[in-house]
Structure 1
Amino acid sequence: MTADTDLREQVHAAARRARVAANALALLHRADKDKALLAMADALRAHAEPVLEANAADVAAGRESGMASGLLDRLTLTEARIDGIAGGLTKVANLPDPVGETVRGSTLANGLRLTQVRVPMGVVGMVYEARPNVTVDAAGLALKSGNAALLRGSSSAAHTNAALVEVLRDALTGVGLPADAVQLLPCEDRASVRHLITARGLVDLVIPRGGAGLIQSVVNEATVPTVETGVGNCHVYVDASADLDMAERLVINSKARRPSVCNSAETVLVHAEVAEKFVPSLATALRLAGVTVHADERFAALAPGVLPATDEDWDVEYLSMDIAAGVVDSLDEAIKHIARHGSGHTEAIITSDIAAANAFTTRVDSAAVMVNASTAFTDGEEFGMGAEIGISTQKQHARGPMALPELTTTKWIVWGQGHTRPA
């Protein structure tokens, strides 16, 4: 048996165990699932120290290997971050159970009663980079929606993910649920990703989370159904009627609050009518916040010291303290720029003109469109979902932050009284 064949069998065996666990989870009542989620949250807080020790080893290795600052930030756990991750599980426990929800129903003229109800997907695979929070979020959301989770994290977070999954599995067995509801797949060889995303019939859905290369690789190579999650080339457009003090606060928050996440703004566009007044103060505020500006000629003329923008700057997801900046002559030009360069994740308009806001929200084709609000709000927890398993930028099945309903599918239940269909 070759090493690749052996790895394939490991992944497929895990998927078969996950199916057994998923069949058990699908029968659980909400109270059982919520009890397990709360036990998982308590266990994470109680075992924070070994998790942090494991994470420290991963962070040290990442720093030594020259990992980008954005990824290093996503990889790093603190006691506060662990508490926040555990809190996400508690929030998920407090959310309604989507399984069994009636989506629609009717009684036909012939007396047949039709009901479409939500049911679990089954076995859900996650492929993600140095984001240990995804390990817990995915496990919790999968459990609440009645699914088993197969987690394939990156080797850069191997120690952290192993420690987290050990805690979660112990918590599950402690409340009488199958530990195989949460499994961590081998991460040393990229072939494990290939074996997961081509395990059609064993895995029901795969969700990739990470950079553009990871997402496109999974989407293009998978034979298992996938959800394309978001590369976040997010834009903030400052309209001619904008409250400029508000605009400055929102641009800074959208960019500098946490630049390593996908809802961070990567481009700011300023209407020409307010550029002369706004650009100098915005450039100063960005500089003081530690942000490097890559500007077009019109923006740069009003903000000496910024870097010239290249063609690539308009399309890049920096995930760092960098932002592209430009001046546009109209709302229409801003919308066209976003259509040409955006990734379909989140765009924001700062305006006091209702007509401009309506035009922007109608014409911009992205998963989330903000009016006078930071792009940072595109987040499952902020949307009241407890946590998210990803932000979908596709248009089928799910779009935007995905949480419990998006991890279900539906079935039709038809009740008759001896009905037969005429020839």
Structure 2
Amino acid sequence: MTVDAFDNHAEIITSAKRAYHATLSLAIAKGSDRSYAILAMAESIRNSSDEILEANTLDLEASREMAVPELILDWLKLTPNRLENTVEILQRLGKLSDPLRKVRGADYQLEDSQSYSQLMPLGVIAFIYEAFPELAAIAAGLCIKTGNSIILKGSTEASHSNAAIGKALSSAIAETCLPEDCLQFITQEHGTSVRDVITQDQYINLAIPYGRSSLIQQVARQSTYPVLKSAMGNCYLYCSPSASMEMVHWVIVDSHASQPDPVNAVEKALIHRQCAPSSLITLCNSLKEKGFDLRGDEELAEAFPQLHLAKETEWGCAYLNKTVAFKLVDNLEHAVTWINEYSSGHADVIVTDSYQESCQFALGVNSAFIYTNASPRFCRNPPRGDSIFLGMSNQKGNRRGLINLESLTTVKHIIQGNGQF
């Protein structure tokens, strides 16, 4: 993401104020009105698809001239299928039940009173994203559904695409009874930096950065209000002596299939020393045929010429492409220790036939999600269940794991007395 100067612009203050005042009305809007608005957003995106794709072509042409990395170009490129998937996500989101004001029991109880809690909106959410123009629509849908206003700050590489999507979303909201200011778009013309957005703690309640780790860390370090950090890539797989290499192959390949953002892609594989070298050779050859770039630690790179040497700095960093690095470990304890030090901490995998090993791995690895003999492939719109997911978070706390509707809510406690004193 192109980062602007750190000057504080009046434009973001105005936008933040508008979003703040809009959320006061949005928070008490009927669930049916919020759902209708999301369905209108879906229809507007579909009707504006030609204009959005034309704008995206301009962004791609400008980015190629500026030698933008291929990774960002992949994230930036919209297709009719990606837009249609976005429409389908919004349509499903609009049909889900209202997540707000659901009554829950409360641990805090007083004599002669009744206590309960309800899910409520957070307020104003800033979504700061690198490329991925369609995520603006999905994030906006999640926020509207949960009664939150949203401020969208996209990267300069996607400026035309962001403007076209923003126009479609705004026109849809204008046709509903919701406050138009609940959607705020920070465009390139505003000259507003990321730091300008993440220091408006008087009006904004949560920041969600999405993109490379450099952007995530910038927002986490500089924000003056809470940050819900997303995570992508650098997931680990541990292959035990009892594991099937065919399953290891399937898990790695399938985890990379969630394009264009391989959120839970397995990029590092820890192999137990007792695994047969012939099986590892077969695995590497199969992955190479699938277009993977393979690397290994010093011992493996020396033994297998098809593996490039992985630098020490690579074990803790995400590749964000079809690259997998292999490392030999002595035992399960060694694997758990290594993963806890170098993994991104949001999704890690064990392939084993041992139930005891799977339990030990799940207990020992300090990550949000643990997969046993299963692909960690991320799906924003899963066929089962009743939620839509924006991404994954590796931070500890009550918003760890999948970023969904409940992640964008807070709890209000209500104590109902009977007037006695």
Residue in 2 that maps onto 1:365: 366
Amino acid at match of 2:18: R
Q: Distance in 1 between matches of 2:26 and 2:267?
A: 41
1:408 maps onto 2:409 in alignment: yes
Amino acid at match of 1:208: P
The range that moved more, 226-235 or 112-121, is 226-235
Residue in 1 that maps onto 2:15: 14
Q: Distance in 1 between matches of 2:147 and 2:306?
A: 54
Secondary structure, counterpart of 2:101 in structure 1: coil
Q: Is the 8 A contact 1:276 1:302 kept in 2?
A: no
Secondary structure, counterpart of 1:274 in structure 2: coil
Secondary structure, counterpart of 1:413 in structure 2: strand
Residue in 2 that maps onto 1:129: 130
Please state how far the C-alpha of 1:249 moved relative to its aligned partner. 1.3
Please state how far the C-alpha of 1:184 moved relative to its aligned partner. 0.9
Count of residues in Structure 1 that have an aligned counterpart in Structure 2: 418
- Structural mapping, 1:95-244, within 5 Å: 95-105=96-106, 108=109, 110-187=111-188, 191-244=192-245
Secondary structure, counterpart of 1:293 in structure 2: strand
Please state how far the C-alpha of 1:419 moved relative to its aligned partner. 3.8
Structure 1: 5+ residue runs without aligned partners?
Answer: none
Q: Distance in 1 between matches of 2:220 and 2:415?
A: 35
Q: Is the 8 A contact 1:294 1:323 kept in 2?
A: yes
TM-score (ref. length: structure 1): 0.93
Secondary structure, counterpart of 2:98 in structure 1: coil
Q: Distance in 1 between matches of 2:354 and 2:398?
A: 33
Please state how far the C-alpha of 1:329 moved relative to its aligned partner. 2.1
Residue in 1 that maps onto 2:73: 72
CA 1:380/1:102 → structure 2, altered by over 3 Å: closer, same or farther? farther
CA 1:49/1:332 → structure 2, altered by over 3 Å: closer, same or farther? same
Q: Is the 8 A contact 2:252 2:265 kept in 1?
A: no
Residue in 2 that maps onto 1:285: 286
Please state how far the C-alpha of 1:172 moved relative to its aligned partner. 1.1
Q: Distance in 1 between matches of 2:233 and 2:383?
A: 17
Secondary structure, counterpart of 2:320 in structure 1: coil
Amino acid at match of 1:156: E
Q: Distance in 1 between matches of 2:329 and 2:88?
A: 43
Q: Is the 8 A contact 2:7 2:193 kept in 1?
A: no
Please state how far the C-alpha of 1:89 moved relative to its aligned partner. 0.8
Q: Distance in 2 between matches of 1:39 and 1:366?
A: 38
Secondary structure, counterpart of 2:350 in structure 1: strand
Q: Is the 8 A contact 1:293 1:324 kept in 2?
A: yes
Residue in 2 that maps onto 1:59: 60
- What is the Cα-based RMSD across aligned positions, in Å? 2.2
Structure 2: 5+ residue runs without aligned partners?
Answer: none
Please state how far the C-alpha of 1:29 moved relative to its aligned partner. 1.7
Q: Is the 8 A contact 1:379 1:401 kept in 2?
A: no
Amino acid at match of 2:368: A
CA 1:158/1:20 → structure 2, altered by over 3 Å: closer, same or farther? same
Q: Distance in 2 between matches of 1:282 and 1:341?
A: 23
